[in-house]
Structure 1
Amino acid sequence: MGPNEIVEPYESPRARHLPPATVFQWLRKGWETLTVDPVPSLIYGVGVFLVSVVVVWTLFTFGYDYILFPALAGFMVVAPFLAIGLYEKARLTDAGEKATLAKMLFVRPASGAQVLFVGVLLMLLMATWMRAAVIVYALFFGVRPFPGLDHIAPVLFGTPTGWAMLVTGCVIGGLFAAFSFAIAVVSFPMLLDQRLDAFTAMGTSISTAWNNMPVMIAWGFIVLCAFLISILTVGAAMIVLFPVIGHATWYVYQDMK
Structure 2
Amino acid sequence: MPRTYNEDGFQQASKVKDSEYAKTLPCNKITISDPFQWLALGLNDFVRSPIISLFYGACFAIAAAGIVGLIYLQGNHSHLVILPALIIYMLIGPFLALGLYDTSWARERGKQPSLLHSMKAIGRNSTSQWSFAVLLVVAMIFWMRIASLLHALYPSVAGASIIDFAPFLITGSIAGFILASVVFSISVFSMPLMLERRVDIMTAIFSSFNAVRSNPAPLLVWAGVICGGVLIGFATYGLGMIITMPILGYGTWHAYHATIQKKH
> Same fold judged by TM-score > 0.5?
yes
Matches within 5 A, 1:171-182: 171-182=174-185
Matches within 5 A, 1:1-257: 6-7=15-16, 12-14=24-26, 16-62=28-74, 63-66=76-79, 79-108=93-122, 110-141=124-155, 159-257=162-260
Aligned 8 A contact 2:56 2:246 in 1: yes
Superposed CA RMSD in Å reads 3.3
Aligned 8 A contact 1:26 1:249 in 2: yes
Q: Secondary structure at the match of 1:113?
A: helix
Aligned 8 A contact 2:67 2:86 in 1: no
CA displacement at 1:12 relative to structure 2: 4.6
Rate the CA distance shift 1:168–1:69 in 2: closer, same or farther, 3 A.
farther
Instruction: Give, in whole Å, the separation in 1 of the partners of 2:206 and 2:130.
Output: 16
Aligned length: 245
CA displacement at 1:243 relative to structure 2: 0.5
Rate the CA distance shift 1:43–1:177 in 2: closer, same or farther, 3 A.
same
Instruction: Give, in whole Å, the separation in 1 of the partners of 2:199 and 2:223.
Output: 25
Scaled by the length of structure 1, the TM-score of the pair is: 0.81
CA displacement at 1:75 relative to structure 2: 9.4
Percent identity (aligned) = 25
Q: Secondary structure at the match of 1:106?
A: helix
Instruction: Give, in whole Å, the separation in 1 of the partners of 2:257 and 2:185.
Output: 16
Instruction: Give, in whole Å, the separation in 2 of the partners of 1:73 and 1:223.
Output: 17
Amino acid of the residue matched to residue 193 of structure 1? E
Scaled by the length of structure 2, the TM-score of the pair is: 0.79
Rate the CA distance shift 1:131–1:58 in 2: closer, same or farther, 3 A.
farther
Amino acid of the residue matched to residue 172 of structure 2? G
Aligned 8 A contact 1:77 1:181 in 2: no
Q: Secondary structure at the match of 2:28?
A: coil
CA displacement at 1:141 relative to structure 2: 4.8
